[in-house]
Amino acid sequence: MHRVFSGIQPSGVPQLGNYLGAMRNWVALQDGHECIYCVVDLHALTTWQDPKQLASQTREMAASLLACGIDAKQHILFNQSAVPAHVRLAWIFNCVARMGWLNRMTQFKDKAGKDRENVSTGLFVYPNLMAADILAYRATRVPVGDDQRQHLELANDIAQKFNHDYATEFFPAIEPVILGVAARVMSLRDGTKKMSKSDPSDQSRINLTDEPEAIALKIRRAKTDPAPLPGDPAGLEGRPEAANLVGIYAALAGTDLAGVLREHGGKGFGAFKEALAELLISHLSPIAEETRRWLDDPGAIDAVLRDGAARAAEIADPIVDEAERLVGLLKP
């Protein structure tokens, strides 16, 4: 059986893009795999976080994951900083990865921009910690969004160089798992921008704890064009807002663009938006309710995370102990 590992940053209550692009796939993979899911609070520190908010954002992300259907009893859910094995292995990987490899990471270049001299050194070695997250469990399947593909290639380079330099086959190859029709959910206000927590307009996104009225209003106000819906996917060409709404509908209804357009093609957006809002509300209301139930009991969330961390450490500690032995560290 393949071991699955994935991580998500503690950005508070997630938005629809996180749900359709990541969390829903995590839930689906629980069937038939051993899954380890991690709220990566150490990765969050690579850019400054308000210490008053980081812990509550970590709890909010954990609550949302539980509410979406992550089964923390059959599988494992924890926060990264609670399992020191990640950082121990990351240090070894800092010494295996090459400057040139990290210099090529497009996410670093995007995030650092022109301010390279002034970003944290943690941001630069971010992918080494990500490789350690996965390889501390010798996990082989990693569900991520397309934007993380390059980081997984780097993780494989690190694993290979480690194996080569220490004449071992200790670390396995990792395969990305990139799933779903709505791999990219776009902003409700601008169909060319990704839906994101960092967009200043709350109207641009659906948050997983939005009330039904808020969802209906955001969809009613979502940007569209004046033409009716086309009869087939080719007709969505050059209509990013229409394509986005049809994509969201397809993802939630478990069909594809063609399937949605067979049913709704020719309709105006008024009627389609009503159907979409209804679908969103029926999907998200139970999740929102369950998230609030968890958030009313922060002690219960902490208990889940504590138990997850203990079980995660049981797997990771012996693996990282062995990696330390392989590089020659004395384990007296």
**CA nearest to 146, candidates 199, 185, 193:** 185
Contacts to ligand AMP from residues 168-227, by CB under 6 A: 183-185, 194-196
For residue 138 the two structure tokens come to 């010798």
**Residue carrying structure tokens 């709350």:** 202
Q: Nearer Cβ to ligand AMP, position 20 or 323?
A: 20
User: Interacting stretch for ligand TRP, rule CB under 6 A, among 45-53, 126-134, 252-260, 313-321?
Assistant: 126-134
Round to the nearest angstrom and report the end-to-end CA distance of the chain.
Answer: 34
Residue 189 contact among ligand TRP, ligand AMP, none, beta carbon within 5 to 8 Å by kind: none
Q: Nearer Cβ to ligand AMP, position 61 or 305?
A: 61
201 phi, psi to nearest 5 deg: -90, 120
Amino acid at site 43: H
Query: Do you know the residue count of the chain?
Result: 332
78 phi, psi to nearest 5 deg: -160, 170
- What is the secondary structure of 37-76 as a DSSP string? EEE-HHHHTTS---HHHHHHHHHHHHHHHHHHT--TTTSE
Nearest-approach distance from CB 189 to ligand AMP, in angstroms? 13
Residue 130 contact among ligand AMP, ligand TRP, none, beta carbon within 5 to 8 Å by kind: ligand TRP
Instruction: Give the active site residues.
Output: 111, 194, 197
Under the binding rule (CB under 6 A), the answer on residue 40 touching ligand AMP is no
- CB neighbours of 234 closer than 8 A, spacing ≥ 6? none
Q: Nearer Cβ to ligand TRP, position 81 or 224?
A: 81
Q: Nearer Cβ to ligand TRP, position 205 or 264?
A: 205
Amino acid at site 217: L
Under the binding rule (CB under 6 A), the answer on residue 24 touching ligand TRP is no
Among 79, 148, 204, 244, binds ligand TRP (CB under 6 A): 148
Cβ(197)–Cβ(12) under 8 Å?
A: yes
Note the residues at the interface with ligand AMP (CB under 6 A).
8-9, 11, 17-18, 21-22, 144-145, 147, 183-185, 194-196
Note the residues at the interface with ligand TRP (CB under 6 A).
5-9, 40, 43, 130, 133-134, 142, 144, 148
